[in-house]
Structure formats: C-alpha cells, structure tokens
Amino acid sequence: MAKNNALATGPQGPPTHLGTRISSVLRGQLFLFDMPSERAYSSRQGVRLLIVFLFLEALARPSLDLGGARLGLTSHIWWMGVKIAFLMLTAWLLVTGYAKVRLAELGLRGWSLWTRTEKHFFPQIMIITLVVFGFNASSGIAALWGRRDVGRILVFVCVPQLIWGFYQEFVYRGIVQTELVRRWGTWPGILVGNLIFTFGPLHFYHFALARHHPAHLWIFPAIFAIGLYFAVVYHRSGNLWIVGTLHGVGDWFIDGLGIVARIPR
C-alpha cells in the first residue's frame, strides 16, 4: 500500500495556513509549494521502475562508456551527445512502455498544470542560478565566446550537458526517489534516494580519483547537499522540470565549460 506523501502529479487542495499568508512569489523560496497528490501507480509498477533504474545505471550507461572507449568514440565531440540522448530516450521509453507509468506521475506536467507558486519560483531560481554561476565562470564564458567554433560547442557540449543534468534528475529523483518515498515515506525515501545519488553508480568514480588525492573525497558532502536541495524541491513541488533544468544548467557551467577548455581551438 502506498504511503501518504507529497510527491505529485498535480496540486492537492489549498496551501498550508502559513503559505496562505505569504505571496506565491516568495513561497517557492521557502519550499511552500502547494501540496501535490499521492502517486496512483501500483506496487508492481514501482518494482518495474526500480528495475528500469538498475538497467540504466548498472548496465546501459557503463556499457556505453566501456564500448565507446574501446571503439575510440569518446574522443569525438559528438559522442557525448549521442550517448546522453540514447540514455534519455531509453529511460522515457522504459518508464512509459515497460513500467507503464505516466510521465506526469514522475513530475513532468505541462505548464498549464503548474501552480502559481511553481510558475513564480522557476524564473526566480533560474535567474539566481545564472547570475551565481555566470559570475564564478566569467572567464570561461569569455573564452567560449571568443572561439570561432562557438556554435559547434553549444550544439555538441552545451545541449548534451543540459540533457545530462535532466537525465540524472529523471532517474534519481523522478524514478528512484518517487518510488522509495511511495514505499517508505517521505524522509526515509528522500535520504536513501539521495545517498544512492551521492555514492551510487553516478558518482562512484570519485572514489577512484580519491585513491591518489584523498582530499577529493570532500566532493561527496557537496554532492549530497546539492542533491538534497533538488530532492526537497522535487518532493515539495512534484515538478521534475524545475530540478531537471537547474541540474542541467549547473552541469553546463561546472562540467561543460571545463570540457570546452580542453577542446583545441
């Protein structure tokens, strides 16, 4: 039996008493999104969602990485985009075709179904994100716009990074967190889901890097903290578009500009 929780396909009634006294322009910043409705899919579908996760992260993605390296594809600028697009498309098809779960139940609702709080919060947090990252990466951005191949970079590096961040949220928040919260309740589901996000297949390679540079292990608290923020925003809003877009933008600034710096002019 599904536990009562606040992960959503859409809003469930009026906001809390505190929320009614705060403008919808500010409620999102305080995590006071309108309470979303309970998940409607079955336990059997939930098991299939977890199987989809294991297939994607324990088999498909490692196989693509290994195969791409052995075939010498990883040196091509287009390889990252092909790999990420394949993973994203496979994830969507397996969720809807194999698990038979509607994408709206994982937080991919149309704009018309967003609440006023969500519609106000999204542009606010995007502006804040762009300003903060833009300020910290100003030299990398300046170097990018000084390149003659800026168009090619945007297509083969920027777009894949945006999709890559969205894929991570779709898999770890949309699939894993949604199902664990449905099974175990809010905080156990959020915390275990975020531990899997932090120490699981996605970021496990950091342990190998830390063998020669132990200080590299400090990256895990940062990953956990950022993941927890995304987890709470997703839990409270039930909106995967918001956290997926934010994660994609962050990946572009953190990883994408670093990739650009290594590409010969």
- At 134-168, the pLDDT tens digits run 999 999 999 999 999 999 999 999 999 999 999 99
Model's pTM, two decimal places? 0.90
Domain containing 49 equals 17-262
157 within a domain of the structure (yes/no): yes
| Residue 84: partners with Cβ closer than 8 Å, 6 or more residues away | 160, 163, 164, 167
Query: Residue 83 pLDDT > 90, yes or no?
Result: yes
Q: How far apart are the first and last CA of the chain?
A: 57
Distance CA 41, CA 183 (A): 12
Q: CB-based burial of residue 126 (10 Å sphere; 0-12 exposed, 13-18 middle, 19+ buried)? A: middle
Distance CA 90, CA 102 (A): 15
Query: What pLDDT sits at residue 18?
Result: 52
3 within a domain of the structure (yes/no): no
The CB-based long-range contact list for 122-131 (8 Å cut-off, 24+ gap) reads 122/28, 122/241, 122/242, 122/245, 124/25, 124/28, 124/29, 125/28, 125/29, 125/242, 125/246, 126/245, 126/246, 126/249, 129/246, 129/249, 129/250, 130/249
7 within a domain of the structure (yes/no): no
Distance CA 43, CA 51 (A): 13
11 within a domain of the structure (yes/no): no
Q: Report the number of secondary-structure helices (H) and strands (E) in the chain.
A: 15, 0
10 within a domain of the structure (yes/no): no
Amino acid (one-letter) located at 15:
P
52-56: average pLDDT: 98
Amino acid (one-letter) located at 69:
A
Query: What pLDDT sits at residue 10?
Result: 52
Query: What pLDDT sits at residue 12?
Result: 52
8 within a domain of the structure (yes/no): no
pLDDT band at 11 (very low <50, low <70, confident <90, very high): low
4-29: average pLDDT: 62
pLDDT band at 110 (very low <50, low <70, confident <90, very high): very high
- The number of distinct structural domains making up the chain is 1
9 within a domain of the structure (yes/no): no
1 within a domain of the structure (yes/no): no
| Dihedral angle, C-alpha 221, 184, 34, 171, nearest 10 ° | 60
| CB distance 124 to 28 below 8 Å | yes
Distance CA 108, CA 176 (A): 15
pLDDT band at 34 (very low <50, low <70, confident <90, very high): confident
